[in-house]
């Protein structure tokens, strides 16, 4: 009797054991497909099963019948880690390339304008101003050198450069116009100090200071914005993803192979949750990234038009020439006031000053040889605006871009896709973007109280750059401050052990946005469900039945 009941229980237990496999059959199937796949990934086949084995040893994939050993699971997890690193770096490089391209085009055109302006001044002033220019050409070349150095990022005070230029020019012109006198260095220093009260160059210095400062502050801040945004992309693209993320990516990418479901593609919402969890910290860049792009577009909008970059830079020689002519026209009045302020001068041997000859020639007109290409800046502004607008959603669009070419599609896709456990519909809803939203992510376990420090630092850099650009819109210059160490938050985002794997590779896109192909892995341990081997329910009845038999 006892033996009969026990046999019956064993039979009942065998009926309640969950079935595993793609077709729901408990029969152990051949592992030839995964052996070929595994070998194709560069791994040796030593220890790889010929047919399915029990999967209690698996730590990431569902624990049903499987073709994967523990070593295989570890190797595939590491592979998915390397592949995901490649995906994100390739995506970042694509955007970096676009930003670098915009920088090079704008920088090249701006320097071309500046060089043209300097050459134009030299070619025009040499015949027009004669020795007055040739003997003092260093004053003009120093001006162009200083403003070019400012644009390139040197620690130069632009207003001081312009003030010093006009003060030196006043000294030189006064000396040339009064060669009949003995003029000492101390006297010339006194002359330069009278520039504010005398206003020998009329209103040109004030107008030119306003225009040059606004133009060069905006241009320098704009190119720095392109450089900073590219650096942010580079650094964020190199951030290591969490161990939990790598586990989830492994489960989504390669666990179907372990379950002999190589053709199973992830459910769309499943992939979205995996990627939103993995890229939660990156998504938090979105707000400041958009602010930076919007502000850069506003600054770029100032570069074109009648008061834009080309007009200001190319018109420098004519404005300087006009200011010089104004002083020469009023040299007698200016001399009288200077003699009063600095004292009378003793006459010397030279009688001719050359002023009369200069005045006879009339005002110097500097020809704008770039007039025919004035539309180039307009095209540059239009192009960079389009690209900046396109890159605005970059960080929150990454999950959908990464999933776009690897999820199941077509008729019945929702019911036959891989949901992390088997081929079946994925029931959880898609969660939101950003770290705070991940508290309810069913696929990736993330400690939302520990944001990634590197990404927090880059958010701060975006804020600093946006602040600088907003000041540039008002003509205000603000030097960069290194606030990388003054960022709150904790969490490294780095992997703790070898199970921190990365997912698939990405195919670099031809546009600003990445186009990715293979599947990706993700983080968060699978919650207990049909993946784990459940004990036979009848086992729990054995003690009770044995007790009844003894009665």
Higher local confidence (pLDDT), 172 or 412: 172
Q: Is the pLDDT of residue 270 over 90?
A: yes
The helix, strand and coil proportions of the chain, stated in percent and rounded to the nearest 5, come to 60, 5, 35
Of the two residues 306 and 402, the one the predictor is more confident about is 402
| Residues 122 and 137 sit within 8 Å (Cβ to Cβ) | yes
- The residue ranges of every structural domain in the chain are 105-243+281-401
Of 184-188, 287-291, 329-333, 482-486, the one with minimum mean pLDDT is 482-486
Q: Is the pLDDT of residue 351 over 70?
A: no
Q: How far lies 402's CA from each of 62, 88, 164, 444, 504, in Å?
A: 24, 9, 56, 16, 10
The SS3 of residue 346 is strand
384: nearest Cα among 217, 153, 219: 219
Separation CA 76–CA 83 (nearest Å): 10
The C-alpha torsion from 30 through 31 and 32 to 34, rounded to 10°, is 150
Task: Note whether 207 and 311 are within 8 A (CB).
Answer: no
Q: Dump pLDDT digits (tens) for 231-249.
A: 999 999 999 888 899 899 9
Give how far the C-alpha of residue 263 lies from the chain's centroid of Cα atoms, to the nearest Å: 36
Q: What is the pLDDT of residues 488-513, one digit of tens each?
A: 333 333 333 333 333 333 333 333 33
In angstroms, rounded to a whole number, what is the distance separating the alpha carbons of residues 89 and 93? 6
Q: In the prediction, which pLDDT does 13 show?
A: 40
Asked if residue 256 has pLDDT above 70, the reply is yes
User: What average pLDDT does this structure show over 66-70?
Assistant: 93
Instruction: Work out the average pLDDT over 330-345.
Output: 90
Q: What tokens appear for 450 in the block?
A: 């520990």
| pLDDT reported for residue 10 | 40
pLDDT at 108 over 60: yes
**Max CA separation in the chain (angstroms):** 142
- Looking at residue 268, its pLDDT comes to 93
Output the pLDDT for position 237: 93
Mean pLDDT of 157-177: 92
pLDDT of residue 514: 38
Q: Which residue has the higher pLDDT, 230 or 78?
A: 230
Instruction: Give yes or no for residue 263 having a pLDDT over 50.
Output: yes
Task: Name the band, by pLDDT with cuts 50, 70 and 90, for residue 484.
Answer: very low
Calculate what percentage of the chain has a pLDDT beyond 90.
54
Separation between Cα atoms, residue 396 and residue 93, nearest integer Å: 17
Q: Which is more confident, 478 or 108? A: 108
Mean pLDDT of 34-63: 92
The pLDDT assigned to 64 comes to 86
pTM of the shown model: 0.75
**What's the average model confidence in pLDDT over 259-270?**
91
Q: What angle do CA 498, 88, 298 make, to 5 degrees?
A: 145
Report whether pLDDT(258) > 70.
yes
Residue 361 pLDDT grade (very low, low, confident, very high; cuts 50, 70, 90): low
Q: What was the pLDDT predicted at 161?
A: 94
Q: Please list, in sequence order, all residues whose beta carbon lies within 8 angstroms of the beta carbon of residue 415, skipping any fewer than 6 positions away.
A: 424, 425
pLDDT at 365: 56
Average pLDDT estimate for 385-406: 92
Which residue is associated with the tokens 């796949």?
A: 37
| Cβ–Cβ < 8 Å for 425, 267 | yes
- Per-residue pLDDT tens over the stretch 191-200: 999 998 989 9
Average pLDDT over residues 303-330: 89
Closest CA to 235 of 398, 92, 113: 92
**pLDDT at 319 > cutoff 80:** yes
In Å, how far are 21, 27, 538 from 15, measured between CA atoms? 16, 14, 10
Is residue 57 pLDDT above 90, yes or no?
yes
- Percent of the chain at pLDDT > 70 equals 76
Examine the pLDDT at 530 and tell me if it is beyond 50.
no
Q: What is the mean pLDDT of the chain?
A: 80
DSSP string across 237-268:
HTPPPPHHHHHHHHHHHTHHHHTT-TT--B-H
pLDDT at residue 18 is higher than 50: no
pLDDT at 523: 36
Residues 380-387 have a mean pLDDT of 90
pLDDT at position 92: 93
């Amino acid at each position: 009797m006892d033996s009969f009941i026990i046999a019956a229980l064993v039979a009942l237990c065998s009926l309640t054991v969950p079935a595993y496999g793609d077709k729901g059959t408990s029969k152990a199937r051949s592992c030839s497909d995964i052996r070929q796949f595994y070998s194709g990934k560069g791994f040796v086949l030593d220890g790889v099963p010929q047919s399915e084995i029990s999967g209690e040893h698996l730590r990431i994939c569902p624990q049903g019948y499987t073709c994967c050993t523990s070593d295989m699971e570890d190797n595939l997890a590491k592979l998915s880690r390397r592949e995901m690193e490649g995906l994100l770096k390739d995506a970042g490089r694509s955007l970096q390339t676009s930003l670098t391209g915009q920088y090079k085009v704008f920088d090249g055109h701006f320097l071309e304008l500046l060089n043209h302006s300097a050459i134009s001044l030299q070619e025009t002033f040499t015949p027009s101003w004669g020795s007055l220019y040739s003997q003092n050409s260093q004053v003009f070349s120093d001006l162009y050198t200083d403003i070019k150095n400012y644009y390139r990022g040197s620690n130069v005070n632009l207003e001081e450069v312009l003030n010093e230029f006009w003060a030196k020019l006043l000294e030189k012109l006064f000396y040339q116009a009064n060669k009949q006198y003995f003029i000492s260095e101390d006297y010339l220093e006194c002359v330069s100090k009278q520039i504010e009260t005398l206003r020998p160059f009329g209103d040109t210095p004030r107008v030119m200071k306003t225009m040059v400062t606004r133009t060069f502050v905006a241009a320098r801040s704009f190119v720095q914005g392109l450089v900073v945004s590219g650096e942010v992309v580079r650094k964020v693209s190199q951030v290591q993803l969490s161990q939990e993320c790598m586990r989830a990516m492994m489960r989504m990418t390669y666990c179907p192979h372990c379950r002999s479901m190589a053709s199973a593609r992830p459910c769309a919402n499943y992939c979205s949750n995996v990627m939103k969890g993995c890229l939660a910290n990156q998504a938090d860049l979105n707000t400041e990234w958009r602010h930076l792009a919007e502000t850069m577009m506003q600054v770029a909008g100032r570069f074109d038009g009648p008061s834009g970059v080309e007009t200001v830079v190319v018109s420098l020689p004519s404005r300087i020439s006009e200011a010089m002519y104004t002083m020469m026209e009023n040299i007698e009045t200016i001399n009288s006031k200077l003699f009063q302020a600095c004292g009378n001068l003793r006459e010397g041997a030279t009688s001719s000053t050359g002023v009369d000859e200069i005045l006879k020639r009339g005002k110097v007109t500097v020809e704008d040889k770039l007039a025919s290409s004035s539309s180039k800046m307009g095209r540059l502004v239009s192009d960079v605006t389009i690209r900046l607008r396109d890159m605005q959603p970059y960080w929150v669009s990454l999950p959908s871009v990464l999933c776009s070419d690897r999820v199941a599609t077509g008729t019945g896709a929702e019911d036959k896709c891989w949901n992390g456990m088997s081929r079946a519909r994925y029931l959880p809803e898609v969660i939101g973007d950003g770290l705070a939203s991940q508290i309810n992510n069913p696929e990736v376990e993330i400690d939302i109280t520990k944001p990634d420090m590197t990404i927090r630092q880059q958010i701060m850099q975006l804020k600093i750059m946006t602040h600088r650009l907003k000041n540039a819109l008002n003509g205000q210059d603000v030097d960069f401050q290194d606030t990388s160490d003054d960022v709150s938050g904790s969490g490294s985002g780095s992997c703790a052990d070898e199970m921190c794997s990365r997912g698939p590779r990405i195919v670099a896109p031809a546009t600003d946005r990445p186009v990715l192909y293979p599947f990706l892995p993700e983080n968060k341990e699978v919650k207990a469900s049909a993946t784990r081997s459940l004990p036979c329910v009848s086992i729990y009845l054995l003690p009770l039945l044995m007790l009844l038999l003894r009665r």
